[in-house]
Amino acid sequence: MAAGLRQPGFIFMGMNYRTSWLINQGRFEEAEALVEQAYAYGIGVVPFAEMICRGQRYWSKSSRGADVDHPQNASEIEGLIRTSNLPRDVHEIFSVIMRYSYDHDGASAHERIRGVDYRKIERDEHWLLCITSLADIAVDVGDQDMARWLYRALMPYADLIAIHDLMRIGRGSVGFTLGLLAVALGEPDAAVGHFERAIAVEEAADMRLGRITSQVGLAGALGRRSAVGDEARARDLLQAARIAGERLALGEGCRVMRFLLARGDENPFDSDAWRRIQAS
């Protein structure tokens, strides 16, 4: 349709949306090749083309755990964000998120976020991506107050997919983030329900990468709950996620693999049951 209209903006957007779909399918090489095509087509023609393409390229590499040039790419995107007209607090959140996505230094990210009034940022196209990303940091450092506020703020959006309108990048179902926060808040029953809902949303949207992440989340929540039959179910989910992750060649730096590989306090699901499940 975009090609038929011959409008450069629509053609460029079509390439962006397909790139987003390819990333969610785990077809990273195709996605990154299409980003390069979009970049060549859009520069000088479409506003924000450089920011969008660099953001999608970075998202693809982060999603598959490819660490190549992460700091340099993050720095370049931070520079582009700095020259945009984003509100100061939103810019700072994005800057923190970019750095945390490759250095995984929760303490440093948390210290920077303490200077940001994230509770009062406008609920626009940036909000859902910002708030779901901050949840990872809150869980990482064990900030219960922050986790509790984020959980309440995100509850009305439980059935949505966290996606950024301009960048066309997404983090999977909001239900996953709610499940993660529920685990951190000591509510494994609620967490199981959130992760199950997340998987249903991601299966309906055919988001393979998100579904794998939520399978790991559900396995972790079941391990923390440890009701009758939970460990066996968690073992099956984790095995399915491992097989799917291997098919997509996910690296150790991606979100899924960090949950699978992290031990002790570094893993939000840590428990005796979870360690048995991981070892099986």
The pLDDT of residue 77:
64
What is the predicted pLDDT for the residue at 63?
84
pLDDT value, residue 5: 56
Q: Which residues contact 91 (CB under 8 A, 6 or more apart)?
A: 81, 82, 84
pLDDT at 18: 94
d(CA 201, CA 144): 27
Q: What is the DSSP letter of 161?
A: E
Spatial distance between the Cα atoms of 157 and 174, rounded to a whole number of angstroms = 7
pLDDT tens digits, one per residue of 66-96: 665 566 666 666 666 665 667 778 888 888 8
Q: Are 38 and 12 in contact (CB under 8 A)?
A: yes
Residues of the chain with pLDDT under 70: 1-6, 66-85, 252-253, 258-267, 270-271, 273-274, 277, 279
Helices 8-25 and 49-64: angle between axes, nearest 10 degrees: 10
Domain ranges of the chain: 143-280
Alpha-helix runs per DSSP H in the chain: 2-5, 8-25, 28-42, 49-64, 70-82, 88-103, 106-113, 127-141, 144-154, 174-184, 188-204, 208-225, 230-247, 255-261, 272-279
Tell me: the pLDDT tens digits for 210-235?
A: 999 999 999 999 998 989 999 999 99
Structure tokens at 278: 């991981």
pLDDT of residue 114: 86
